[in-house]
Every structure is written in C-alpha cells, then in structure tokens.
Amino acid sequence: MMCTHRVRAAFNRMVFGLIITVLAGCLATHPVSESVVAKRAQMHMGTLVTLTVVAPNPSVSERAMRAGFNEIKRLEQLLSTWRPDTELSLVNAEAGLRAVKVSQETLELVIRSLDMAQLTRGGFNIALGPAVAAWSATERQHIPDELELQQLKPLVDWTSIQVNKVTQTIFLPRMGMRIDVGGIGKGYAADRAVVEMKRAGARAGVVAISGDIKTFGMPPEGHGFPVGIKHPRKEGELIAILELMDEAISTAGDYERFFVRDGVRYHHILSPQTLQPARACQSVTIIAREGVVADGLDTGIFVLGPEEGMALVESLPDVEAVIIDAEGTMTVSSGLRNRLGMP
Ligand code: AMP
Ligand code: MG
C-alpha cells in the first residue's frame, strides 16, 4: 500500500513506541529536500516490527529496509528458544550433558546478559527459562503450583552458567536448565538492525520491535524522533512523550502480556526469587544509547523495584528511566525531567 502524505504531516503524527501506528505492509515514500522517508511493518520475533528509513533516494531506502528486516530475521534464527534448531536451543537441549560451541555473537550476547544480571543483582536473569516455560502457559492462563515452582529453583541459578571464551562454548551444568533471552534479545536485534540499515546507506531511521525501539540520526524535520510512553492502566493513553536522538527506549510492563484471576494480575516478567510475576512495578521505561542495555535494564529494574531501580539508573551514565510503581506513582530520572512532554 502506498501512502502519499507530505513528510511534515507524517512526522507530526508519527509518535512511535509503545504506540505503533503503522499498518502491516504499509510503505510510505515521501520525497522531500533530497530525502525519502519510508515506513514498513512486518511480523518477526513473534511481534510487529516497524522500520522507518530516511535515505537520499528510493533505491537506497529499499536497500536499507531490506537490510534491516534481514538482520532481524537472521537474529531470530540465532537466538529464538521456541525453534528447536537455533544455537540457544542446542545449548538448552544439552543442559547437564555437555558444553555447546556457539558463534562469537551468541557468546557475546550471553556474556552481556550475565553482566546485566550482575548489574541488577540478579533481577535480570537469563536462566529463568524453566520458570518462563512453566508459566508459558500465560497464554493458556495456567498458574503453576508453588511446589512445581520451588522444584525449579535449582535450575534458575544464572551464576552456574559456564561460558568459555577460549573454546567458545556455553555449558548449563544441570539437566533442565534453559537460557531465555526474551528479556534482552529484542533490544539487541534493534541495535544490530540499525548497524545494517546505516551500512546500506540510510541517513536516519527507527527500528521498533514491539516496544523495543532504537533511533539513529535526525528526521528531515524536527530534532529527534518522537516516542510515547504508554499508560500502564489506561489502554490507548500516553503518560508522556519525548524525542530521541541516537537513543534506544524500551518498556517492560505488566500490561503487555497478562491475565487476571480472582482479582490478581498474572504477567510475563518473573521475580527470580519467587518465580511468580514480579510485583514492585506497573511499568519501567529505560532510555539508553544501546537497545541491549535499555531492554536488559527494563526487565531487571522491573524486578528490583522503584527505589533500588532508580538509584541504579542514577548511577549509570547515559541511562534514564520512567518508573511507575505498583500504586501507579510515576518517578522520572534527573536527566529526563526537562525532556518529557505531556501528550
Ligand atoms: P521484557 O518484555 O523485555 O521485559 O522481557 C520479558 C521476557 O523476558 C519474558 O517474556 C521472559 O521471556 C523473560 N523474562 C521474564 N522475567 C525475566 C527476568 N526476571 N529476567 C530476565 N528475563 C525475564
Ligand atoms: Mg527487557
């Protein structure tokens, strides 16, 4: 489908993020001052991926668009744990048996995930795979019983994951252990897609993998790419908007995948302590230079809670946050306060 609006109108309406307004398959191309702007959406990684490209001409735009989507497809092939043939699925299948050789890239993502676990004092935990599987479940609204969860506790110890940089192998020492990069992989994929879109000649753009968004460069008009942060309890409403310049944004929210039973909300972000849905926040939005940092931190800080989480954000350079606690109170990090606008 071709869309023919002028670019200014298009950007005025383009609030990305946590609200993605594109229709699947829609491509809009707008020639303005020697720039074309194109936007296209496809389903990958089990979610809607929207790419926006600012390029000098339509052929570069098309090349950058293809490069971005191809990179995301490649990473899905490498990192998914739902498909049996990916590197991480092989690592999981050999848990308790043997170390598995993986690509340098998979090794590095696992190392970065373990760094994130360290940083968030275990709030972010890629060894939670068995617990995620017990709830996976969420779709069928299955609530695992306490005994089942307690039996999984020895399997979710991220400190026992053995990564060998020399042999380039990963070993999960106990049978039944499972790595799950669902809390960090989309941010990493957004970073990588940006690299490939730039390499293909894009001047600027946005990669939005569901709520994981990475921007680069400037839109043809305006200073940055506008994004909105969703209200965690009022569907379709925003709590704030801001502009991003060469930054990533990611939100972990208890409203993204959830069900309510007997007045209790069950959602997809688990506390590594209880293996139950984490209860300290309604949503955590992180802004950082890298998508992998924004994505890992949003999940980890959701578990850590508003006080410890905001203290961590304030201690990190180039990281900002909007945290909404369990009661619905919003806290904004010091470097973001004069950047947020009301929707
Ligand atoms: P996000 O949407 O980035 O918060 O990631 C949520 C996904 O990360 C879930 O669907 C699980 O696959 C996984 N996950 C859940 N809880 C955690 C946790 N505490 N640490 C790391 N990953 C988690
Ligand atoms: Mg995350």
* Ligand 1 pocket mutation, candidates 109, 269, 286, criterion most atoms within 8 A of CB: 269
* Ligand 1 pocket mutation, candidates 47, 124, 128, 302, criterion most atoms within 8 A of CB: 128
Handedness of CA 262, 125, 300, 234 (dihedral sign): negative
In a domain, 154, yes or no: yes
Most confident of 1-15, 256-270, 311-325: 311-325
The band of 197, judged by pLDDT with boundaries at 50, 70 and 90, is very high
The band of 24, judged by pLDDT with boundaries at 50, 70 and 90, is very low
**Per-residue pLDDT at 141:** 76
Query: How remote is the CA of residue 279 from the centroid of ligand 2, in Å?
Result: 16
The band of 256, judged by pLDDT with boundaries at 50, 70 and 90, is confident
Report in angstroms the alpha-carbon separations of 181 from 207, 278, 326, 342: 19, 17, 25, 33
The band of 5, judged by pLDDT with boundaries at 50, 70 and 90, is very low
**Per-residue pLDDT at 66:** 98
pLDDT digits (tens, 9 = 90+) for 203-248: 999 999 999 999 999 998 888 999 999 999 999 999 999 999 999 9
The band of 33, judged by pLDDT with boundaries at 50, 70 and 90, is low
Angle at alpha carbon of residue 27, lines to 22 and 33, rounded to 5°: 110
Distance, first Cα to last Cα, the chain: 29
In the predicted structure, residue 1 carries a pLDDT above the cut 50 = no
- Residue range 6-24: average pLDDT? 36
In the predicted structure, residue 28 carries a pLDDT above the cut 60 = no
Backbone torsions φ then ψ of 49, nearest 5 degrees:
-110, 125
Query: How remote is the CA of residue 269 from the centroid of ligand 2, in Å?
Result: 9
The one-letter code for the residue type at 261 is R
pLDDT digits (tens, 9 = 90+) for 101-123: 999 999 999 999 999 999 999 99
**Per-residue pLDDT at 264:** 84
Look up the pTM and report it.
0.90
For 263, counting Cβ atoms within 10 Å of its Cβ (0-12 exposed, 13-18 middle, 19+ buried), the class is exposed
The band of 176, judged by pLDDT with boundaries at 50, 70 and 90, is very high
Dist CA 16 CA 39 (whole Å): 11
In the predicted structure, residue 26 carries a pLDDT above the cut 50 = no
Dist CA 113 CA 194 (whole Å): 20
In a domain, 117, yes or no: yes
Q: Are the C-beta atoms of residues 202 and 53 closer than 8 Å to each other?
A: yes
pLDDT digits (tens, 9 = 90+) for 41-95: 999 999 999 999 999 999 999 999 999 999 999 999 998 888 888 999 999 999 9
- Residue range 126-142: average pLDDT? 82
CATH number at residue 171: 1.10.3980.10
In a domain, 16, yes or no: no
The band of 34, judged by pLDDT with boundaries at 50, 70 and 90, is confident
In a domain, 126, yes or no: yes
Q: Are the C-beta atoms of residues 239 and 229 closer than 8 Å to each other?
A: yes
In a domain, 25, yes or no: no
In a domain, 164, yes or no: yes
Q: Say which DSSP state 270 is in.
A: B
Report in angstroms the alpha-carbon separations of 306 from 34, 200, 326: 46, 40, 9
Query: How remote is the CA of residue 293 from the centroid of ligand 2, in Å?
Result: 9
* Residues within 5 A (CB) of ion ligand 2: 183, 295, 298-299
Dist CA 130 CA 275 (whole Å): 10
In the predicted structure, residue 3 carries a pLDDT above the cut 60 = no
Of ligand 1's atoms, which has the minimum distance to the CA of residue 113?
21
* Ligand 1 pocket mutation, candidates 115, 180, 279, 282, criterion most atoms within 8 A of CB: 180
Dist CA 269 CA 258 (whole Å): 10
In the predicted structure, residue 25 carries a pLDDT above the cut 80 = no
Q: Does an H or E element contain 26, and which?
A: none
In 3D space, the residue among 12, 5, 10, 4 whose CA is nearest the CA of residue 241 turns out to be 12
The one-letter code for the residue type at 204 is A
Q: Are the C-beta atoms of residues 92 and 175 closer than 8 Å to each other?
A: no
Q: Are the C-beta atoms of residues 177 and 95 closer than 8 Å to each other?
A: yes
In the predicted structure, residue 16 carries a pLDDT above the cut 70 = no
Dist CA 22 CA 42 (whole Å): 10
The band of 15, judged by pLDDT with boundaries at 50, 70 and 90, is very low
Of ligand 1's atoms, which has the minimum distance to the CA of residue 299?
4
Q: Are the C-beta atoms of residues 318 and 248 closer than 8 Å to each other?
A: no
Q: Does an H or E element contain 68, and which?
A: helix 58-79
The band of 124, judged by pLDDT with boundaries at 50, 70 and 90, is very high
Of ligand 1's atoms, which has the minimum distance to the CA of residue 210?
2
In a domain, 114, yes or no: yes
What residues line ligand 1, using a CB cutoff of 6 Å? Answer: 124-126, 128, 132, 180, 182-183, 252, 268-270, 272, 295, 298-299, 303
What is the domain count for the chain?
Answer: 1
Share of the chain above pLDDT 70, in %: 89
Tokens for 343, please give them: 């929707």
Nearest-CA residue for atom 7 of ligand 1: 183
Dist CA 76 CA 45 (whole Å): 6
In a domain, 152, yes or no: yes
Residue 164's domain spans which residues? 87-182
CA 221 to chain centre: 27
